[in-house]
């Protein structure tokens, strides 16, 4: 446990910044917890930090202590509407790295216009839970290598934990795929926690612009619609114009935005 005093003016006692566990800090004012800080490695290996504090002075002191003890680079994500939190991280030396829009995606094909969205000739859609795991892992690896060779996988949402030998297919039952006889050309992953989330839609680079992504979306959204789900959600990086056009073209609406900041 690592404790550092700081006279805050919040009470007659000193504000104590205490490291209560590995990568966890508390700010104590007269034995009352008035702020918390946390650091956690995301699945892609990057270290993300968060702070929940009552006052700017507490936020700033927690940030000062945490950043002194943590290795760079560091990242954080904030709701863009939270102006005060964004300002706090900028005072700590963080700068905006990227903006990500959260979209609400309708599932009704009469709204999306995907009633007639069929895969190209010779391509079939294999429903979630029925994909061959070997071919699924092969197309996932191929697409990730293509992204890494261009914009870099860190430009994508960080959410899949690599396992042994770089395996990033945590639950094969969540993926539907576009298939030809001997390989898969693209995939879509839908995970439901409180609501369905489209976590990934991707097609091999040499198979793009053939309507495969639209066919995968038509399948996944149609499946949700038939099960009574009216809408799903997804995130799209602001600079990913192709994804923005894809979801905008089926009636998806941006509802909020997050900022990823880095130091």
The whole-number pLDDT of residue 27 equals: 94
Q: Tens digits of per-residue pLDDT, 111-163?
A: 999 998 999 999 999 999 999 999 999 999 999 888 877 655 555 554 444 45
CA distance 214 to 212: 5
Instruction: Count CB atoms within 10 A of the CB of residue 211.
Output: 16
Q: Tens digits of per-residue pLDDT, 73-87?
A: 999 999 999 999 999
What pTM was estimated for this model as a whole? 0.76
Structural domains of the chain, ranges and CATH numbers in brackets:
2-71 (no CATH), 101-257 (3.40.630.30)
The whole-number pLDDT of residue 203 equals: 96
Note every long-range contact of 120-123, with CB atoms under 8 Å and residues 24 or more positions apart, other chains counting: 120/210, 120/211, 120/212, 120/215, 122/180, 123/178, 123/179, 123/180, 123/185, 123/210, 123/212, 123/215
Q: What DSSP string runs through 170-183?
A: S-GGGEEEEE-SS-
The whole-number pLDDT of residue 127 equals: 97
Contact 176, 219 (CB under 8 A): yes
Please, which residues bridge with residue 261 across strands?
Answer: 76, 96
Tell me which residues of the chain have a pLDDT lower than 50: 1, 3, 7-8, 12, 158-162, 164
């Amino acid at each position: 446990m690592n404790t550092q005093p700081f006279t805050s003016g919040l009470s007659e006692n000193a504000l104590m910044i205490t490291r209560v566990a590995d990568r966890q800090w508390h700010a104590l004012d007269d034995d009352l917890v008035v702020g918390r800080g946390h650091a956690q490695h995301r699945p892609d290996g990057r270290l993300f930090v968060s702070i929940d504090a009552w006052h700017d002075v507490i936020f700033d002191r927690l940030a000062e202590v945490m950043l002194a003890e943590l290795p760079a680079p560091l990242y954080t994500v904030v709701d863009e509407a939270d102006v005060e939190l964004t300002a706090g991280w900028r005072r700590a030396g963080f700068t905006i790295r990227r903006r990500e829009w959260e979209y609400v995606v309708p599932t009704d094909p009469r709204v999306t216009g995907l009633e007639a969205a069929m895969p190209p000739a010779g391509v079939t859609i294999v429903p979630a839970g029925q994909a061959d795991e070997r071919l699924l892992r092969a197309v996932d690896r191929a697409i990730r290598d293509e992204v890494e060779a261009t914009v870099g996988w860190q430009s994508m949402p960080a959410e899949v934990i690599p396992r042994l030998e770089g395996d990033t297919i945590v639950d094969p039952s969540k993926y539907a795929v576009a298939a030809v006889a001997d390989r898969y050309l693209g995939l879509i992953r839908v995970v439901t926690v409180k609501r369905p989330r489209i976590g990934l839609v991707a097609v091999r680079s040499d198979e793009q612009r053939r309507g495969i992504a639209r066919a995968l979306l038509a399948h996944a959204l149609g499946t949700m619609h038939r099960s009574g789900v009216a809408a799903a959600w997804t995130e799209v990086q602001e600079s990913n114009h192709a994804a923005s056009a894809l979801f905008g073209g089926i009636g998806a609406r941006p509802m909020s935005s997050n900022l990823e900041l880095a130091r």
